[in-house]
Amino acid sequence: MRNPLLENWTTRFEIPPFVRITDDHFAPAFDQAFRQSRAAVKAIAEDPATPGFANTIEALERADALMDRVAGVFFNLTGANSNPALEELQRDLSPKFADLHSETMMNAALFARVDKLFQNKDTLGLTAEQSRVLELYHRMFLRAGAALKGEDRTRLAKVTKRLAVLGTAFTQNLLADERDWFMQLGKGDLDGLPDFLRDAAAQAAKERDKGGYAITLSRSLIVPFLQFSSRRDLREKAYLAWGARGENGGDTDNLAIVTETLALREIRAHLLGYASFADFKLAPEMAKTPEAVRDLLMAVWKPAKAQADRDAEILTDMMHSEGVNGDLEPWDWRHYAAKRRLAEHDLNEAELKPYFQLNRMIDAAFDCANRLFGLTFHALDVPLYHADARAWEVRKDGKHLAVFIGDYFARPAKRSGAWCSRFRSQSRLDGEVRPITVNVCNFAKAPEGQPSLLTFDDAHTLFHEFGHALHSMLSDVTYQMIAGTSVARDFVELPSQLFEHWLTVPEVLQEFATHAQTGVNIPQDLLERLLAARNFDQGFATVEYTASALVDLDFHAGVAPADPMAKQAETLARLGMPHAIRMRHATPHFAHVFAGDGYSSGYYSYMWSEVMDADAFEAFEEAGNAFDPELAARLERHIYSAGGSKEADALYTAFRGKMPGVEALLKGRGLDESA
């Protein structure tokens, strides 16, 4: 049987031939990819020729070509359109990937070649980009244990393999909890819910073959439910289920996984010579040390908590005035905050939401990319992996730049959250290879025939993920190792968070925020009220995020806790966490940290990047033009197109002239004058 994953793709722009790919194709394709990768590594390591950049580093860049292609399809599907067969294969593949990685990184002959090149790099006549790539390869080998000897090498390989298995299990447990739970509502349970939320809940029930209405654990459904429902009992039920993901006992409980993961990460760090996993993880990042991370987070925590405490008093008084006694609870905060926003800013989500149509917000993001970077977007009629996904060809100066795929709606087979990924990365090593980039979101899908509407927060998410996509699509480097988003973890959120600023540029909203029924542009007074309230409830938002980042740091900056939930409670108690606010991501469903180690000890990176994005957008404000051509060109050259071609601080300084302080962030969040 012919396997399309192993053939050359003759589709337009070599988009994966989704209609021909079945679940059964993946296992044999991976078998072939593992064989090819191992053979390529063996050939490089045993090459009798003197080590050179071409026969070692460039050869390593090519070694996983088939693996990259097969895995690019597979892992995008397991995130966005999974099923039991794919999940079973994912569990089987996790240790195999770990074995391949350890075999490659701990291949003594291979590392000897890389190390020899690194020690003599100044005599090799390398370009600046080649020198950077060599440096990163050498660092990658060292951080993977290439210099270890004897039992330490064996032990690290076992630890790495086990961590891969645990990360996959954590992810699949979380997906199962999110997929399986929903709260069915009858007509008597809809008190306070606006029409847009009733429509979305009806659609969610229909997708689950249920009548009536359903609230799921998708943020796009549960957050507005918590805002609008006047049924406190149902708000509590929904909130507690949302918070209990990964902590329900039974086969999908993640607590044992978390405990073992933290212990193994500590072992890994010690084997590599670091005092803690946080020290190990932060060494190559901009922050460098746990102390620098803690300093940033605590500089923000104090004013944010002070604001949240003041807000909690106001919301409690509002609740008591309605005859609801007792403490303000987490399932009350959003409800009374929405009422307060209506009272203080005359803003109601039901009034606002019709102006934020999904399609118009996509158009707005495309238009901003056009005005900043000269990109144009052209709809493609091509088969994709799901009927809800859609694709565009992206051009710059009339030439093909990338394919962009948008997959925007929540469904049971998709994990929660929003992310940017790739089916193919940009490179020029063997001719121009242009990326295929995908944004995956979990917005509520409107009933058939009706436009899908976003909250203002959803619109920010769309712009955020599209900022990542621009970072991927504008990439202009030779080597995949440094392409696109292959940058320091605490720098990778800069392009995404910075692009969010253009959503709130008044002229953008004036053009693209149009009413779903009437087509009328957002009224000036509503626009002014919206922008005036942009920092509303920032005490809450900052506290729930910063608490999560500090718990992550505490987990990894010392001895691994034997009881992570007790450690979480200890950290929150020390901080004085407000009673009515919980962590944005409690430990058993903290996928950023435990689904893999991408953001482990690194959840702070959103805030680290926010220091830069606030400062970077100030440059446009100082210029008096949000689309200043000179600034946009510098932004593209030094941030969006440069990938990891230089250290992150060098890239930022090339754009802005200096590194920023925390002041711009506090100002941007409206916390600069908080006590």
CA separation, residue 57 to residues 122, 314, 424, 481, 524 (Å): 16, 61, 20, 10, 57
Q: In 3-state terms, what secondary structure has residue 442?
A: strand
Beta bridge partners of 216: 182
Residues 6+ away with beta carbon under 8 Å from 639: 471, 494, 495, 498, 616, 651, 652, 655
Report yes or no: 632 and 508 within 8 Å, Cβ to Cβ. no
Residue 479, SS3 per DSSP: coil
Q: How far apart are CA 614 and CA 612, in angstroms?
A: 5
The helix/strand/coil state of 621 is helix
Integer Cα distance of 258 and 113 in angstroms: 37
Task: Return the half-sphere exposure (C-beta side, CA atoms, 13 A cut-off) of residue 158.
Answer: 7
Which residue is associated with the tokens 């009706």?
450
Dihedral of CA atoms 528, 530, 533, 535 in degrees, nearest 10, equals: -120
Q: How many CB atoms lie within 10 A of CB 566?
A: 10
Distance, in Å, from the CA atom of 640 to the CA atom of 473, rounded to the nearest integer, reads 9
Among 194, 369, 288, which residue's Cα sits nearest to residue 202?
194
CB 286 within 8 A of CB 610: no
Quick one: tokens of 500?
């969010």
User: Encoding tokens for residue 354?
Assistant: 């019709």
Instruction: Report how far apart, in Å, the C-alpha atoms of 274 and of each of 225, 278, 292 are.
Output: 46, 9, 17
- Give me the sign of the Cα torsion angle 155, 160, 165, 169: positive
Question: How far apart are the two ends of the chain, measured CA to CA in Å?
Answer: 69
Instruction: Say if CB 27 and CB 3 are below 8 A apart.
Output: no
Q: Are 86 and 23 in contact (CB under 8 A)?
A: yes
Phi and psi dihedrals of 184, rounded to 5?
-80, 140
One-letter amino acid identity for 502? W
The residues pairing with 443 across neighbouring beta strands, listed in sequence order, are 409
Residues with a known catalytic role = 465
CA 202 to CA 210: how far, in whole Å?
9
State the virtual CA torsion across 213, 217, 220, 222 in degrees, nearest 10.
70
DSSP β-bridge partners for residue 400: 395
